[in-house]
Chain A
Amino acid sequence: MSVPLTLLGLLEREPSHGYDLKRDYDMYFGRGKPLRYSQVYATLSRLARDGKAIAGPVEQGAGPERRRYVITDSGTSDVERWLTEPAPPEPDLQSELFAKVVLALLLGRPAGRYLDLQRAAHLQRMRELTELKRDGEPLNVLLADHSIYRLEADLRWIDHTAARLDLLARAVRP
Chain B
Amino acid sequence: MTVDRPGTETITEARNLFLSFGETPALRGASLTVRRGESVAVMGPSGSGKSTLLHCLAGILVPDEGEVWSGGQRLDTLSDDRRSALRRDKFGFVFQYGQLVPELTAEENVALPLLLSGTRRGPAMTAARRWFPALGLDGLERRRSGELSGGQAQRVALARGLVADPEVLFADEPTGSLDSVAGELVMELLTAAVRTRGTTVVLVTHDARVAAYADREVVVRDGKVSTLTGVEP
Contacts and interface: CB of A to CB of B under 8 A. Distances in A.
Contacts of A156: 208
Interface stretch (A33-41, A48-56, A66-74, A108-116): A108-116
Given A111-B233, A163-B45, A165-B233, A116 B209 contact: no
Given A119-B228, A123-B228, A113 B208 contact: no
Contact of B231 (A112, A127, A163): A112
Interface string B189-233: 000000000000000000011011111010100000010111111
Contacts of A113: 230-233
Contacts of B230: 113, 116
A110 B229 contact: no
Contacts, number: 52
A152 interface: yes
B229 to A, nearest CB: 6
B209 A148 contact: yes
Interface in A112-154: 112-113, 116-117, 119-120, 122-123, 126-127, 129-130, 134, 148-149, 151-152
What is the predominant secondary structure among interface residues of chain A facing chain B? Answer: helix
Contact of B232 (A110, A126, A134, A155): A110
Given A126-B208, A126-B209, A159 B45 contact: yes
A96 B184 CA distance: 30
Contacts of A155: 208
A108 B231 CA distance: 16
B38 to A, nearest CB: 13
Nearest to A121: B228
Interface of A: 110-113, 116-117, 119-120, 122-123, 126-127, 129-130, 134, 148-149, 151-152, 155-156, 159, 163, 165
21 contacts: A112-B233, A113-B232, A113-B233, A116-B219, A116-B226, A116-B229, A117-B228, A117-B229, A119-B219, A123-B208, A123-B217, A126-B208, A126-B209, A126-B211, A127-B214, A127-B215, A134-B188, A148-B212, A149-B209, A156-B208, A165-B233
